[in-house]
Structures are given as structure tokens and as C-alpha cells.
């Protein structure tokens, strides 16, 4: 399944990292809160706070600059939301946004990468200061908080491009309407769809949808198309076309209307792209997103999750391709007149940008036409040479599937053959969801899943 040796090596490293036990965060009480984020309306502040509380994150009372948030065990979606809000605050005039986080070095690395993708440069883990006693007191915590770090998003650490892009998004929301019947023209439609994607959603919706912003945007756009169809001359035919549109089609149309992938999704997309590129498959990206999108014990439409992952990946890749292509055009013009070190540097940049475009196109191919390589041979590969690429990839797939669909199963107590057969079926089902219905494999179906069986007790030798 991996397209090169480095991919398999990375996969093995990722699998090992994922299996490592996470740092146990201390339990703290949720204080009464009154968020004070300048860039949001009062209703949006409450919605944002609700989203953070879902991830065991707490806003402090009586905040002084820099404003502070306490995070305990945040996931990818909450991380992206926090960075997005932080940039939004700075774009609207706040000097800094601080975060008190109980976090280990590995998890901070994910957070730091997320921030970097969104234009925020954070320090190395070892450079992070511990929160002061006063800061902890404001969080409702007496004494010390082992493992806590203070993370600060400051204006000087946010790129000018990020701030300008966020300002553009904020300006777009000012033109937006919340009722699709009020959309007057194409500009207002674009502004409204952008606003739907960048503004937080009420807490109760966060508990039932993997990405409530995306679902809300789909509903808005579908409503807009329905209203337009009702007003058309051939009403029945127009309505029929709207009803026949799938969620993935609606999402693709939305991405074309909005343009470059919005800030709120760009950080998430970075994580998903990395997983797709490392493995040559959508399985790891899908399972990672699904784990982060819903709370333990909640139900979700898996096909919807696949649609969202595919759309975010394609949207993000196309946005990056457009940026790299623009850079290439300028570089290929300037390199003709350069000499010496300047020419060498520009040539290196051209090669880099061409490589990035190739990688983006490869990811698009992997999520629109994925193969069953590594899935059909999963059980065999899982038991192969421990030093082989196939072994590393098979163990990563099994680990991803088990964490996503069987999080409470003790793998040391279940029959390995049953576990592997179920993991293989789940992996195949995931690949099928990213393929055209006419090209799906009949070998993989939920009807083939069986109950996890415990290992048979070993017979004690007779005396």
C-alpha cells in the first residue's frame, strides 16, 4: 500500500507512537465561565465554550491579557478550533491569547504542527513555561498542576498572511446571511457559505455531528438550491436535480464556490494529508478523523465521515496546488534572469514546489480511487517479517481500526484470528466508502463482521 520505502518507515514509527500510552491528565472541576473573546458575538462565545468543554477544555473567569484557556486532553478538532479562534482574536485586535495545557511532548507536537499549518509558530516543548500559581488559581486549581504548560499565541508569532486571510474571512461573515432565502447574489452566497464554515456551532450540535460546521453548510447550501429550484420555470425538474445531489456533490460545489480551504479546516487537513501520504490510503486519515469527531459511545454515519474526509483532503490539496502553481509561475520567470547562488536557490525552490504539487495530486488519487493493496493481504502481512514494510503497514491498519471501532477491547484477551478478520473487513469497508459504488469490492461488508471472541484458555499440563 505504501508507495515508497520512507512511507513504510514512517508508518511503523506512527504505529509505535499511537500505541504508546498517553500522559494521564489530572482531573479538575469545570469552573463557572464567562468567556471574553473579542472576535465573537456573545452567542458564538457560548457555542465556542461548549465545543471546548466537550473536549475537557475550560475558559477562565475574569481574564486578564493574555486571555487564557485551560485544556485537558484536547483532540484534533478542538486544537484546530482553538488556533482558529486565536488567530481571529489577533486579527480583531487582541495582542495575545494564552492557553494552559496539560499535555505531553508527543501531543504538543501535534498541536504545534497544527498551528504551523495555520500560520502560527509555537516554541519547542522544552521552551514552554509552566503556569504561575496565580494563573492556576484563576483556573480554579489550588496548588500545582503536574505537566501543565503555558502556550501563548502572540501577534509576532502569527504570519501576516494568516492574519490577512483571517481578516478576509471575518469581512466575509459581515456580508453573510443565515437564511438561504435572503441570499441576493453570488458574492453573498460565497460570504454566507464561508461564514457557515468559520463560525462555531452550538454545543448540542457538536455532540451529534463529526463536523457541525460542514453539516450546517451543506444544509444551508441545499436550502439555497431548493429555493432557487422552486423559483425556476421548470420547477419539478429543478427540484428533482437538487434532491438527487449527494452530500459529497454538495460539498464539492461548496468548495468550488468558497475557493481556498478556510482556516478552520486547513489545520485539520494537514493531519489528514500526512496520514494519507504516509500510507497511500484513506484508511488512516478516515479513522483518525472519526476518532476525533465523535465522543465515546456516540453513533455516526460512516459514509458521511468518509465524504467529509475526502472533501477536506481534495479541497485542501487543490488549494495547495493553486498556491504552489502560482509560486512556480513567478519563480520560472525570475530564474531566467538570475545567476550564481540566487539562481541555485530559485531552482531548488522550483523543484520543491513541483514535488509538493506531485504529492498533492497523489493524495487526491488515493482518496478518489483507492486500491485494496494491503487490505486483501492484511492478515498475511500482519504475521510477516517484523522488519518488512508490509508488516509495519498491516500493524498500523489494525491499530487504527481497533482504536476506532473497538476501543474497549483488550487485544491481549481476544482471539487474534477473529480480531484480524474483523480488522480486515473494517479496512475493506472503509476503502469501499471512498470508491465509486460500481467499483466496490463485495468481499468486504458489515455482514461479514463477527463478535470478538476471547482466547481459548490454555489447558494445564496433567501431572
Q: Which of 257, 275, 299 is the last residue of a domain?
A: 257
Secondary element (H or E) of residue 82:
helix 76-91
- Phi then psi dihedrals of residue 201, to 5 deg: -115, 155
The candidate with the shortest Cα–Cα distance to 426, out of 287, 246, 294, is 287
Please name the helix (run of DSSP H) or strand (run of DSSP E) that holds residue 72, with its range, or none. strand 67-72
- Residue 169 within a domain: no
Whether 413 and 358 share a structural domain: yes
Q: Say if CB 37 and CB 85 are below 8 A apart.
A: yes
Q: Which of 159, 190, 207 is the C-terminal boundary of a domain?
A: 159
What's the pLDDT score for residue 206?
46
Supply the pLDDT for residue 70.
Answer: 47
Asked, for residue 137, whether it belongs to a domain, the answer is: yes
Q: Answer whether residue 130 shows pLDDT above 60.
A: yes
Rounded to the nearest integer, the mean pLDDT of the chain is 79
* Contact by Cβ (8 Å): 119, 161: yes
Q: How confident is the model at residue 4 (pLDDT cuts 50, 70, 90)?
A: very low
- Do 252 and 359 belong together in one domain? no
C-alpha cell at 114: 497544527
End-to-end Cα separation, the chain, in angstroms: 50
Q: Is residue 366 part of a domain?
A: yes
Containing structural domain, residue 300: 1-22+260-454
pLDDT for 360 beyond 90: yes
For cell 531566467, what's the residue? Answer: 336
Same domain, 376 and 402: yes
Instruction: Please report the pLDDT score of residue 200 as a whole number.
Output: 62
Q: How far apart are CA 237 and CA 229, in angstroms?
A: 8
pLDDT, tens only, 39-66: 455 444 444 544 444 443 333 332 333 3
Domain count for the chain: 3
Bridge partners of 96?
154
Residues 417-430 have a mean pLDDT of 96
Spatial distance between the Cα atoms of 145 and 130, rounded to a whole number of angstroms: 9
290 and 434: one domain? yes
Do residue 361 and residue 305 come from a single domain? yes
Half-sphere exposure in the Cβ direction for 248 (13 Å, CA): 16
What's the CA gap between 59 and 386, in Å, rounded?
Answer: 46
- The predicted-structure confidence for 133-157, as pLDDT tens digits, reads as follows 887 776 666 777 777 888 888 888 9
Residue 460 lies in a domain: no
DSSP 320-382: HHHHHHHHHHHHHHHGGG--HHHHHHHHHHHHHHHHHHHHHHHHHHHHHS---TTTTTHHHHH
φ, ψ for residue 217 (rounded to 5)? -65, -40
Choosing from 257, 280, 303, the residue where a domain stops is: 257
Instruction: Identify the helix (H) or strand (E) that includes residue 422.
Output: helix 416-434
Q: Exposure of 83 by Cβ count < 10 A (0-12 exposed, 13-18 middle, 19+ buried)?
A: buried
pLDDT value at position 34? 31
131 and 182 housed in the same domain: no
Are 366 and 415 in a shared domain? Answer: yes
What is the arithmetic mean of pLDDT over 341-351?
Answer: 93
Has residue 179 got a pLDDT over 90? yes
CA-CA distance, 398 to 410, in Å (whole number)?
13
Whether residues 335 and 420 fall in one domain: yes
Q: Are strands 57-59 and 67-72 parallel, antiparallel or unpaired?
A: antiparallel
When mean pLDDT is compared across 78-82, 399-403, 446-450, the lowest value belongs to 78-82
Amino acid at each position: 500500500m505504501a508507495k515508497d520505502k520512507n512511507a513504510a518507515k514512517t508508518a511503523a514509527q506512527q504505529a509505535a507512537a499511537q500505541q504508546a500510552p498517553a500522559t494521564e491528565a489530572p482531573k479538575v472541576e469545570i469552573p463557572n465561565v464567562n468567556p471574553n473573546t473579542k472576535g465573537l458575538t456573545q452567542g458564538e462565545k457560548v457555542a465556542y465554550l461548549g465545543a471546548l468543554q466537550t473536549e475537557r477544555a475550560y475558559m477562565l473567569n475574569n481574564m486578564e491579557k493574555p486571555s487564557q484557556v485551560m485544556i485537558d486532553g484536547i483532540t484534533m478538532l478542538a486544537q484546530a478550533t482553538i488556533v482558529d479562534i486565536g488567530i481571529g482574536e489577533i486579527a480583531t485586535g487582541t495582542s495575545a491569547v494564552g492557553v494552559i495545557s496539560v499535555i505531553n511532548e508527543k501531543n504538543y507536537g501535534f498541536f504545534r504542527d497544527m498551528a504551523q499549518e495555520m500560520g502560527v509558530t509555537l516554541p519547542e516543548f522544552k521552551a514552554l513555561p509552566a503556569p504561575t500559581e496565580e494563573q492556576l488559581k484563576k483556573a480554579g486549581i489550588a496548588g500545582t498542576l503536574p505537566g501543565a504548560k503555558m502556550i501563548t499565541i502572540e501577534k509576532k508569532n502569527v504570519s501576516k498572511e494568516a492574519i490577512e486571510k483571517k481578516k478576509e474571512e471575518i469581512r466575509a461573515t459581515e456580508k453573510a446571511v443565515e437564511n438561504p432565502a435572503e441570499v441576493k447574489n453570488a458574492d453573498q452566497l460565497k460570504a454566507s457559505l464561508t461564514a457557515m464554515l468559520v463560525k462555531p456551532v452550538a454545543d448540542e450540535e457538536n455532540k451529534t455531528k463529526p463536523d457541525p460546521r460542514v453539516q450546517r453548510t451543506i444544509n444551508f447550501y441545499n436550502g439555497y438550491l431548493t429555493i432557487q429550484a422552486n423559483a425556476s420555470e421548470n420547477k419539478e425538474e429543478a427540484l428533482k436535480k437538487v434532491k438527487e445531489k449527494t452530500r459529497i456533490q454538495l460539498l464539492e460545489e461548496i468548495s468550488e464556490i468558497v475557493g481556498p480551504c478556510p482556516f478552520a479546516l486547513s489545520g485539520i487537513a494537514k493531519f489528514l494529508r500526512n496520514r494519507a501520504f504516509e500510507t497511500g490510503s484513506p484508511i488512516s486519515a478516515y479513522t483518525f478523523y472519526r476518532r476525533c469527531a465523535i465522543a465515546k459511545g456516540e453513533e455516526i454515519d460512516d459514509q458521511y465521515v468518509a465524504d467529509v474526509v475526502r472533501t477536506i483532503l481534495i479541497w485542501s490539496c487543490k488549494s495547495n496546488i493553486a498556491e504552489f502553481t502560482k509560486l512556480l509561475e513567478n519563480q520560472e520567470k525570475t530564474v531566467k534572469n538570475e545567476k550564481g547562488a540566487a539562481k541555485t536557490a530559485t531552482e531548488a525552490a522550483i523543484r520543491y514546489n513541483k514535488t509538493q504539487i506531485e504529492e498533492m495530486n497523489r493524495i487526491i488519487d488515493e482518496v478518489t480511487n483507492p486500491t485494496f493493496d494491503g487490505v486483501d493481504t492484511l492478515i498475511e502481512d500482519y504475521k510477516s517479517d517484523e522488519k518488512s514494510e508490509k508488516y509495519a503497514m498491516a500493524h498500523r491498519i489494525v491499530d487504527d481500526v481497533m482504536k476506532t471501532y473497538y476501543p474497549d477491547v483488550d487485544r491481549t484477551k481476544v482471539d487474534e484470528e477473529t480480531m484480524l478478520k474483523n480488522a480486515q473487513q473494517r479496512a475493506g469497508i472503509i476503502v469501499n466508502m471512498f470508491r465509486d459504488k460500481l467499483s466496490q469490492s463485495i468481499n468486504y461488508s458489515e455482514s461479514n463482521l463477527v463478535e470478538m471472541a476471547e482466547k481459548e484458555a490454555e489447558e494445564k499440563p496433567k501431572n
